[in-house]
């Protein structure tokens, strides 16, 4: 199984990024770029083919490429990001995906950010956050597309966080009974039905974003208390530095679109 990750470089304009729940602080763009390069190196070390798109200095949030597409084995959905300033990000991503999948687009008035879509393949279910970025029209368009290929959409109304995947990601290996790492304070009770949920450490509200690649589970290095909880539950997580990109409200999943190539 060959995995491909599409990434995008850290733009010089990163300091002009969208911010919703964080106060603006000084971002060291060179340090962010170094952390991003190290993230790509970790992906390559896991056997992932990294395809980096051309730089787009005029698009401050373009490094957070996850928000521009949802890629399933059967179809790729190119999103219409909820923030106006991010809409121009999608065309290059659509082009890059065209060789790999049938591509469907979210159309106005729908909005959808990829960070709001948590795919639990074992249940053929997409949990979709209704957020400041993702609206009902976007969710309904997504539902129509994925219903045709056998996935159910379950809407989750989060609070106090940007995207659903800020609050929950899957930590179990593909094919195993699913287990999610969650921040329960940002989620309604029972949001994931009977899927097992492991809560993050309450002192680390941003620690629920992990990136599972085969046997490896990547986790932002600053969240040591949650990593200890993961360890106690039998999950060995690999720490990856991303605290500079976190100032732009980005996490680990945001920086790539990862999919299996046919
Ligand atoms: C934004 O607000 O759109 C960016 N500054 C951060 C996007 C993070 N993306 C993600 O969580 N999927």
Task: Choose, from 36, 163, 197, 219, the residue flagged as catalytic.
Answer: 163
Place of tokens 């970790």: 42
Residue 163 annotated as catalytic = yes
Pocket test for ligand 1, best of 22, 66, 162 (most atoms within 8 A of CB): 162
231 Cα to the center of ligand 1, angstroms: 28
Pocket test for ligand 1, best of 15, 250, 251, 254 (most atoms within 8 A of CB): 250
> How many residues are recorded in the chain?
262
Helices (H), 47-135: 90-98
The DSSP code for 189 is T
Tokens read off for 96: 């890059």
DSSP H or E run through 229:
helix 224-232
Q: Is residue 198 classed as helix, strand or coil in its secondary structure?
A: strand
Instruction: Give the number of the atom of ligand 1 that is nearest the alpha carbon of residue 19.
Output: 2
pLDDT tens for the chain, 262 residues: list them.
899 999 999 999 999 999 999 999 999 999 999 999 999 999 999 999 999 999 999 999 999 999 999 999 999 999 999 999 999 999 999 999 999 999 999 999 999 999 999 999 999 999 999 999 999 999 999 999 999 999 999 999 999 999 999 999 999 999 999 999 999 999 999 999 999 999 999 999 999 999 999 999 999 999 999 999 999 999 999 999 999 999 999 999 999 999 998 6
Instruction: Give the number of the atom of ligand 1 that is nearest the alpha carbon of residue 165.
Output: 11
Q: Is residue 71 classed as helix, strand or coil in its secondary structure?
A: strand
């Amino acid at each position: 199984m060959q995995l491909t990750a599409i990434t995008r470089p850290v733009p010089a304009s990163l300091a002009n990024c969208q911010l919703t729940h964080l106060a603006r602080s000084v971002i060291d763009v060179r340090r962010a770029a170094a952390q991003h390069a190290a993230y790509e190196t970790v992906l390559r070390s896991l056997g992932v083919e990294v395809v980096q798109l051309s730089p787009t200095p005029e698009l401050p949030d373009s490094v957070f490429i996850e928000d521009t597409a949802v890629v399933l084995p059967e179809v790729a959905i190119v999103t219409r990001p909820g923030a106006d300033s991010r809409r121009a990000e999608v065309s290059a991503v659509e082009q890059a995906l065209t060789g790999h999948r049938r591509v469907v687009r979210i159309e106005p008035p729908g909005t959808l950010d990829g960070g709001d879509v948590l795919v639990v393949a074992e249940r053929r279910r997409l949990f979709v956050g209704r957020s400041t970025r993702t609206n009902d029209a976007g969710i309904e368009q997504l539902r129509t597309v994925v219903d045709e290929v056998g996935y159910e959409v379950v809407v989750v109304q989060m609070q106090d966080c940007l995207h659903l995947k800020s609050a929950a990601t899957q930590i179990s290996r593909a094919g195993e009974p699913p287990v999610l790492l969650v921040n329960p304070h940002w989620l309604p009770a029972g949001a994931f039905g009977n899927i097992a949920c492991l809560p993050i450490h309450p002192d680390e509200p941003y620690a629920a974003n992990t990136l599972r690649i085969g046997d490896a589970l990547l986790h932002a290095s600053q969240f040591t208390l949650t990593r200890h909880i993961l360890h106690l539950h039998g999950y060995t997580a690999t720490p990856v530095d991303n605290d500079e990109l976190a100032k732009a409200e980005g996490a680990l999943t945001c920086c790539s679109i990862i999919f299996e190539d046919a």
